[in-house]
Amino acid sequence: MGVETLSGFRESVNHALGEKRQGNERLDRWINDAHVELFAELEIHGRRSCGTTSTVVDQREYNLPTDFVALLVLKNLTSKKRIIKTSLENFQLLSATTEGSPARYTRVGDLLSFHPLPNVIETVQMFYIREPNSLSAGTDVTELPAMYDRVIHLIGLRNALIDLQVDERATFVFQIAQNKLRALPSEDWLEAHNPQEGIQIARSFRDLQRDAREGLDENFSGRVLL
């Protein structure tokens, strides 16, 4: 759990905005959006969830769970194969009339869209990260370890600056947040020194390319973000 309270985040973001002080409703939205965004960048073992659904013949789109944040694995349990993510642009180039067992998916809003169009009933299993509880009371703290409090402040400030159309500063602040996140302990360090944190860093392919310790492509085991 974090140490900084929602009241503390409100005060720090408002202070960073200087004369452009905001009410709690907007501050809470910026801060909660930052909390969710950071969850989508990290694999939190305690927030993993699993759900299953059955395909329906001639039905392409399926609802995502209401507490969905980020996808870990999507698997067809019937065929025992993973279903691969495809960009919306590439998905739209696939034949709309092809039928069969789902092999690819894309996200369209709050829906997953499968290709080929299912023509059999199969079981699809999804491992995903659940959305954290919203911060609403001033004494609420985040569901992340305290070392991420500063990153949440920075991303919340970035969200505020975007809404206030201070785009250049928003970009600068977000770069600071990314640098801060990369400087935090790695998964290996946490497992060796503080395993009760129960947290795994989900690193991007680009980060792995830049890290000499993880230089081989086959070492990449991060999840797919939607």
Q: What are phi and psi of 197, to 5 degrees?
A: -60, -30
Q: Distances from the Cα of 44 to the Cαs of 3, 96, 198, in angstroms? A: 17, 37, 7
Q: How confident is the model at residue 173 (pLDDT cuts 50, 70, 90)?
A: very high
User: What does the alpha-carbon distance between residue 226 and residue 192 come to, in Å, rounded to a whole number?
Assistant: 30
In tens, the pLDDT along 15-32 reads: 999 866 778 899 999 999
Percentage of the chain beyond pLDDT 70 is 78
Query: What is the pTM (predicted TM-score) of this model?
Result: 0.63
- Bridge partners (DSSP) of residue 49 are 128
Q: Measure the CA angle with vertex 145, ends 110 and 174; round to 5°.
A: 60
Q: How confident is the model at residue 211 (pLDDT cuts 50, 70, 90)?
A: very low
